[in-house]
Amino acid sequence: MNFASDNAGPMHPRVLDAIIAANSGYEMPYGNDTIMPRVRDMIRATFEAPQAAVYLVATGTAANALALSTYTNSWDTIFAHRVSHVEEDECGAPNFYSNGAKLTLVDGIGAKMDPDALRRAIATTGQKDVHSAQPGPVTITQATEVGTLYSLGEIAQITAIAKDHGLKTHLDGARFANACAALGCSASDMTWKAGIDMVSFGGTKNGCAGVEAVIFFDPEKAWEFELRRKRGAHLFSKHRFLSAQMEGYLSGDLWLELGAQANANCARLVKGLETIAGAEIPDTPQANMVFANLPRAAHRRAMGAGAQYYLFPSDASLDGPDDELIRARFVCDWSKPTSEIDQLITLLRG
């Protein structure tokens, strides 16, 4: 009963099979394997972007930091939501890879940038001429860190503001598939058609072992990215094993199927949570993650039986009044068996 994160789950069998298949014989290293051209073509087809530059790395943080750094001067500031992976969970990787750029934190409910807040933040950046950090790219997360979604219109609104100021836009898609499945839109709808310039397209949380694609719809800085990737030590010698994962993930739109499955698992979980006496679910979950305030006694039962998930604050105690609500985060990946979800609910309900 592990609901701690979607990075706690296994590879999907088809991704594993792709690795096994890729393991026969010899392949030239460093991205020159015979699988990568197929991956490139599949991603270009998936995103309807025949010119896109496509690269693979192994971690989401690498994808974000390398992509952003390609369009960030060291004296720039990146616009990101206060509750975003680049700000909260990467130990300053974007600052490191951009050689010391800053992050300007933009607010907005549900971990989504408020367009007015973004507009104000950009407008007040660089006002002091050479004394100020200068406006750099805008990055949004889809699905967000709290499981909410930007609508296509909301993405377009954010990117329009960026473009008004000549700024590039990045989409952190560690949970791209969940978002795409939930919105029922195409990969292109959610990206370049909505004004996004570059994407971190996540595989790791959704059935892969460790692979993320970085996609630039305009390939002008492709060579620079390759240098940055190598310099950052993120170019794999046995690159075929990244390529293979991504091929397995894209084939037959497995990525989308798994994203939808994770969402469905979460919806089942939410439905169950709603039946628990006293439970509160502040934001409406839209993808594969739910935050819920539940009575301490419920947590005591579930965790006592071995359920794994995070409480907030992280040092919240299970000792105390039964009815006091403690916030918890539950994340589902594609692999979660229905029986485990139901068992968790049963335990929580008591």
- Which residues, numbered 37-56, are part of the site for a copy of itself (CB under 8 A)? none
Query: What is the per-residue binding string for a copy of itself in 214-253, x denoting contact by CB under 8 A?
Result: ----------x-xxxxxxxxxxxxx--x------------
Rounded CA-CA distance 231/328 in Å is 39
Please identify which residue in 47, 55, 97, 249 interacts with a copy of itself, judged by CB under 8 A. 97
**Shortest spacing between CB 47 and a copy of itself, in angstroms:** 23
Question: Under the criterion CB under 8 A, does residue 58 sit at the interface with a copy of itself?
Answer: yes
CA angle 78, 331, 239 (to 5 degrees): 65
Q: Does 205 bind a copy of itself (CB under 8 A)?
A: yes
- Of the candidate spans 19-27, 37-45, 113-121, 142-150, the one that interacts with a copy of itself by CB under 8 A turns out to be 19-27
Tell me how far, at minimum, the Cβ of 43 lies from a copy of itself, in Å: 20
Nearer to a copy of itself, 95 or 265 (CB): 95
Smallest distance from a copy of itself to CB 186, Å: 27
Judged by beta carbon, residue 50 or residue 127, the one nearer a copy of itself is 127
Q: Which of residues 280-339 bind a copy of itself (CB under 8 A)?
A: 308, 313-314
Q: Which is nearer to a copy of itself, 232 or 272 (CB)?
A: 232
To the nearest whole angstrom, how small is the minimum distance from the Cβ of residue 76 to a copy of itself? 8
Alpha-carbon distance 175 to 178, whole Å?
5
Stretch in the footprint of a copy of itself (CB under 8 A) among 21-29, 165-173, 179-187, 189-197: 21-29
Q: Is 194 exposed, middle or buried (0-12, 13-18, 19+ CB in 10 A)?
A: buried
CA–CA separation, 324 vs 159, rounded Å?
42
> Among 37, 41, 45, 89, which residue sits at the site for a copy of itself (rule: CB under 8 A)?
89
Q: How far is the CB of 209 from a copy of itself (least distance, A)?
A: 4
SS (H, E, C) the chain: CECCCCCCCCCCHHHHHHHHHHCCCCCCCCCCCCCHHHHHHHHHHHCCCCCCEEEEECCHHHHHHHHHHHCCCCCEEEEEECCCHHHHCCCCHHHHHCCCCEEEEECCHHHCCCHHHHHHHHHCCCCCHHHCCEEEEEEEECCCCCCCCCCHHHHHHHHHHHHHCCCCEEEEECCHHHHHHHHCCCCCCCCHHHCCCEEEEECHHHCCCCCEEEEECCHHHHHHHHHHHHHCCCCCCCCHHHHHHHHHHHHHHHHHHHHHHHHHHHHHHHHHHCCCCCCECCCCCCCCEEEEEEEHHHHHHHHHCCCECEEECCCCCCCCCCCCEEEEEEECCCCCCHHHHHHHHHHHHC
Options 4, 152, 281, 316; binder of a copy of itself; rule CB under 8 A = 4
Which one of the spans 132-140, 190-198, 322-330, 342-350 is the region binding a copy of itself (CB under 8 A)?
132-140
Identify which range of 58-66, 259-267, 272-280, 294-302 contacts a copy of itself by CB under 8 A: 58-66
Asked if 100 touches a copy of itself (CB under 8 A), the answer is yes
Q: Does 75 bind a copy of itself (CB under 8 A)?
A: yes
- Residue from 50, 51, 131, 321 touching a copy of itself (CB under 8 A): that is 131
Query: Least distance to a copy of itself from the beta carbon of 135, Å?
Result: 12
Q: For a copy of itself, how many residues bind (rule: CB under 8 A)?
A: 75
